[in-house]
Structure 1
Amino acid sequence: MATPWATPEELRAHLRLAAIDTDQAATAIAEAQTVIRGGIRQYVDQVEADEAFLVGNGRTVINLPEMPVTTVASVSQDGTALTAGTDYRVNRHGILTRLGGCWPLDADVEVTYTHGYADADRPAVFKQVCLQVAGRAWVRPSTAVSAESLGDRSVTYDKDRTGEALTSYEETLLEPYARGPESR
């Protein structure tokens, strides 16, 4: 299991509270991490020996689904092992390049690789945004009502105010770490 990006004590300090329920704070932090992961379409934490099953696209590059890529253990095309430096190369941004040609259309490409950030290497922006999102959820967990009806009782919550969505500023901060839809 991944290490939390922030602690309940850090959330307490961020909110300038005298005390905080550590279990509820830990839950808010975990939920904030989920919101961030969904917003940038990346797991973020380091995963070793992860397997990606991709499909050849008829081009020279395929994007691996997670980044940063730290090591690649193996790459195979339709069950045939490929050699790094001769058949393919990969960069930290997850761009897998087929050397001397293209990835055949509809070919099965299997990659075993390590990706993500170790705890000590995770950029500070993740903790900052995590505390902001968790802080919004803590301060306004259920008071962010954007619409309410009386007949048959209907309540609509504003996800931007409950911490369930990233603000445009937070999306801008996280943009360098996001992966586009082409990799999915």
Structure 2
Amino acid sequence: MADQLADPEELATSLGVPASDPKLVWALTAASRRFRGAVRHPVTLVGGDPFVLDGNGRESVLLPAAPVLAVASVRLDGTALVEGTDYDWSADGFLRRLGDVWPDRLRCLRGFYDHGYAVIPEDIQEVVIDQARAMYRIDPGVQTKTVGGQSVTFGTQAAIGVTAQWSAAVERYQLNRGDRP
């Protein structure tokens, strides 16, 4: 499924339930959304995505998502620019002005570009499956559960944390735009 960053079959095998299990589908979708929110970009391949950027008076600006696979067009104040002559770009998302700087004006750059992963990296898939597994096993809203003579109390928020692997993957794929408070 396009909304999921990992294979439902792999999660189903680890949980011992069918991949069509509604709770499994919900957990994998929710974990994928959490990862996308944490890294602040779609992760999956997006073609022909429009962008509108502010100029900054410098040689480089950053496109909104990475990795960048292609930049189809760039317009500066409505005038088409030529790749290799007026600008260049990098997979990391830098859009560099050649022989000049970008003007220091709001919304002066517009264009279209392709970004993301056609095949989701394995480390992303792994942490999304781990998070989905944890979400699947927790009953939302349950504070106390008694089985036999044992009673366990937990809160959903405390029970569904993140692993060190999750944090490392988010750090690796998060867009570093200098926009954090």
Regarding TM over 0.5, the answer is yes
Tell me which amino acid in the other structure corresponds to 2:5. W
Q: Does 1:132 align with 2:130?
A: yes
User: Cα 1:53–1:160, aligned 2, differ >3 Å: closer, same or farther?
Assistant: farther
Q: What pairs with 1:109-128 in structure 2 (closer than 5 Å)? A: 109-118=109-118, 121-128=119-126
The answer for unaligned runs of 5 or more in structure 1 is: 146-155
What's 2:51 paired with?
52
Q: What pairs with 1:5-154 in structure 2 (closer than 5 Å)? A: 5-15=5-15, 17=16, 22-107=21-106, 108-118=108-118, 121-142=119-140
Alpha carbons 1:89, 1:98 under 8 Å: kept: yes
Question: What fraction of aligned residue pairs are identical, expressed as a percent?
Answer: 34
User: Cα 1:7–1:160, aligned 2, differ >3 Å: closer, same or farther?
Assistant: farther
Q: Does 1:177 align with 2:173?
A: yes
CA deviations on 1:49-101 (whole Å, 9 max, x unpaired) are 00010000111111101111111110011111111011110011111111111
Alpha carbons 1:55, 1:109 under 8 Å: kept: yes
Tell me, in whole angstroms, the C-alpha distance in 1 between the residues paired with 2:80 and 2:114: 18
Q: How many equivalent pairs are there?
A: 169
User: Cα 1:39–1:79, aligned 2, differ >3 Å: closer, same or farther?
Assistant: same
The answer for unaligned runs of 5 or more in structure 2 is: 144-153
CA deviations on 1:27-63 (whole Å, 9 max, x unpaired) are 1111100000011111101111000100001111111
Instruction: Report the TM-score when normalising by structure 2.
Output: 0.82
RMSD value, Cα: 2.4
Alpha carbons 1:57, 1:103 under 8 Å: kept: yes
Tell me, in whole angstroms, the C-alpha distance in 2 between the residues paired with 1:27 and 1:172: 24
Instruction: Report the TM-score when normalising by structure 1.
Output: 0.81
Local SS of the residue matching 1:12: helix
Tell me, in whole angstroms, the C-alpha distance in 2 between the residues paired with 1:183 and 1:85: 29
